Every structure is written in structure tokens, then in C-alpha cells.
């Protein structure tokens, strides 16, 4: 379904996710990605939500960042998307998280649905992305700047480096 989502978002050539990568991210030794699958009456998958934790330094607590929400076209309007979002909202409330956040492509007709459940569009924050050559160029500066971050006293190890 992730590849179906990429096709829906007009970017199928940008989706390189494999079954093995998804399984490792969700079920590996230290999963940092979580997911829920919506199924129909025949137990067939009709939608999914993939998410991970973020953290608000101002609120001092975690929140959920919804990376992807997708409901297959034939199941749209069935309540599957609302149920997936309600499940994430329930996790937030139960765990004391203060936010459930996501991004949406500006042409997506789901904007009306999101507004109907009380979601507010964030207009004052501008998303940035560092990837590809620019990401590698900046990463190279971490060692060429003469500072080895791993040797600083008090540094909290990045557990992701061990995975």
C-alpha cells in the first residue's frame, strides 16, 4: 500500500521501500516506526497509518508524527481513515502526549476531512528537507570541522547508530 500511496501522490518513481525494509523498521530489534492497518469485513487490508514519536521541547513531552495515512480508493468514506486517526489520538491521550501531527500535500482533497475532525493547518511553520548531495555534503562537515562529536563529555549516545 505504500507504493499505492506514492502513485496517488504522483511520485511512484520516488518510492523505493522494500518489504524487507518495512519489516525491519517495524519489527527489528529497536523499532522506531509503528503502524496500524485497517481491514474490511473479510479481513483484507484497506488502509494504514505509519508513525513515529517526536518530542516537543516546549511541552516537554512526546507526540506522534504521522508519516503516512492511506486508505485505498474503494474504501474511502468507509470510516477507516477516521478510525486510524482516532486510534493514534487515543494513544496520545493514554500516554500523555500533547500532539498528533502530520503533513499533507496541498492538493489532497482530504483537507476537508481533516478540518471536519478539528485538525488545524499550520501555516506559520515552513518545512525544510536536507537530502541527497546536500545531506552528504553537510555530513562531511561533521568530521572535517575538527570536532569529533562522539568524544564530547556528556554526549548522549545516538542509539540509532547501533542499529
User: Active site includes 114?
Assistant: yes
Catalytic hit among 65, 70, 97, 114: 114
- Alpha helix stretches (DSSP H) within the chain: 2-8, 19-27, 80-95, 111-116, 132-144
Give dist(CA 145, CA 72) in Å, integer: 48
Distances (CA, A) of 84 to 30, 34, 64, 79, 127: 23, 12, 13, 9, 24
Active site residues: 114
Amino acid at each position: 500500500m505504500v507504493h499505492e500511496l506514492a502513485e496517488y501522490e504522483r511520485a511512484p518513481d520516488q518510492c523505493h521501500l522494500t518489504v524487507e525494509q518495512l519489516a525491519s523498521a517495524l519489527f527489528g530489534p529497536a523499532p522506531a516506526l509503528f503502524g496500524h492497518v485497517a481491514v474490511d469485513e473479510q479481513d483484507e487490508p484497506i488502509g494504514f497509518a505509519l508513525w513515529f514519536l517526536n518530542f516537543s521541547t516546549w511541552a516537554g513531552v512526546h507526540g506522534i508524527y504521522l508519516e503516512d495515512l492511506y486508505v485505498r480508493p474503494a474504501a474511502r468514506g468507509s470510516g477507516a481513515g477516521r478510525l486510524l486517526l482516532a486510534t493514534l489520538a487515543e494513544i496520545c491521550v493514554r500516554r500523555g502526549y500533547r500532539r498528533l501531527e502530520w503533513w499533507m500535500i496541498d492538493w489532497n482533497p482530504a483537507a476537508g476531512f481533516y478540518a471536519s475532525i478539528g485538525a488545524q493547518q499550520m501555516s506559520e511553520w515552513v518545512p525544510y528537507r536536507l537530502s541527497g548531495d546536500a545531506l552528504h555534503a553537510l555530513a562531511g562537515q561533521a568530521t572535517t570541522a575538527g570536532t569529533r562529536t562522539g568524544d564530547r563529555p556528556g554526549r548522549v549516545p545516538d542509539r540509532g547508530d547501533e542499529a
